[in-house]
Amino acid sequence: MLERVLTDLEARMRAAPDRGKVADYIPELARVDPARFGISVCLADGRQLSMGDAEVPFSIQSVSKVFALAIALGRFGETLWIRVGREPSSRAFNSVVDLELEGGKPRNPFVNAGAIVVTDAILANRAPKETLAEIVRFLRAASGSDAIHIDQAVARSETETGHRNWSLAHFLKSTDNLRHDCALTLGTYFHQCAIEMTCADLARAGRFLAGLSRDDDLISRAHVRSINALMMTCGHYDGSGEFAYRVGFPGKSGVGGGILAIVPGKASIAVWSPGLNRWGNSMLGTMALEELSDAMGWSVFNAG
């Protein structure tokens, strides 16, 4: 059944009249073909179904925040929340306002400010290279794919033009919520965001959050629950309520147009379409997940 659903879905998405707007504030990302659409689903029975551009690598950007958080929770546990909050934000992903109003503690680990703090935490006085290697290693282990890598050109592009993130980092530094030099933490953060992988690899990498991978090596079950909860309430920035209402399971988007979505116990889904809606989330990606949720009855809010 899922196969037919995906086939229909891809056809409809290919024909979509409005695909949103490709992110243009990172020059390297602005060049991506807006017509791309890929989706891949890993299921509890071990099967993986993919459609469209599911084998084309793209820049996962903020989707990487999920994996950085997984590593940080594994290392620091609940003490991480001293530095970052767990509440949704009603402002844009790169907003400085909440940060100032709340004394330098980001509202959650998925807005940029919060993700920068998480990266700063896992840096832990090591070289950025080591930390990045750890993140890539985590993703390769989770997905079983060695193709996952960092696109240096994208990382450089952001380092040079990502002034809003520099603004956030210096603000965090001014409130003592950054342990390393801004350049060191941000350099690591920009490289982490520049990780490139395919939908097929991303869906596999997310299996541990859906409980589909065989071992508990990557992360404890309590942390899986925590990450899914945060993806539900904060994973789509100020459009998180809308996503929960329409799709009904946890997800995390990136400005590259990718979304990783988790149906606990049932499926790990990666979707990619570069055009964004007004909150900076993939327009067709969100639509595809909504249709998939409806067709499969996958919303966690379904009462049977």
Q: Which residues bind a second copy (CB under 8 A)?
A: 85-90, 95-101, 107-108, 163-164, 166-171, 173-174, 182, 208-212, 221, 224-226, 228-230, 232-234, 238-242, 244-245, 248, 250, 262, 264-265, 299-304
Q: Which of 59, 65, 66, 84 is catalytic?
A: 65
Q: Would residue 25 show up in a list of annotated catalytic residues for this protein? A: no
CB of 259 to a second copy, least distance (A): 17
Which two tokens mark 150?
Answer: 């960092």
Identify which of residues 95 and 282 has a Cβ nearer to a second copy in the complex: 95
Q: Would residue 189 show up in a list of annotated catalytic residues for this protein? A: yes
- DSSP string covering 79-135, please? GGGGTS--S--SS-TT-SHHHHHTTT--S-TTSHHHHHHHHHHHHTTS-HHHHHHHH
Q: Would residue 62 show up in a list of annotated catalytic residues for this protein? A: yes
Identify which of residues 107 and 191 has a Cβ nearer to a second copy in the complex: 107
Q: What is the widest separation between alpha-carbon atoms in the chain?
A: 54
Identify which of residues 135 and 244 has a Cβ nearer to a second copy in the complex: 244
Contacts with 82 (C-beta within 8 Å, 6 or more apart), sequence order = none
CA dist 17 → 14, 20, 241, 286 (Å): 9, 9, 25, 15
CB of 29 to a second copy, least distance (A): 16
Beta pairing partners, 275: 22
CB of 197 to a second copy, least distance (A): 21
Identify which of residues 56 and 76 has a Cβ nearer to a second copy in the complex: 76
CB 293 within 8 A of CB 266: no
- DSSP string covering 210-225, please? HT-SS-SSS--HHHHH
CB of 293 to a second copy, least distance (A): 9
Identify which of residues 250 and 257 has a Cβ nearer to a second copy in the complex: 250
CB of 74 to a second copy, least distance (A): 16
CB of 215 to a second copy, least distance (A): 13
Q: Which of 62, 240, 253, 282 is catalytic?
A: 62
Identify which of residues 18 and 216 has a Cβ nearer to a second copy in the complex: 216
The Cα 65–Cα 235 span in angstroms is 10
Q: Which of 41, 50, 111, 237 is catalytic?
A: 237
Residues involved in catalysis = 62, 65, 189, 237, 255
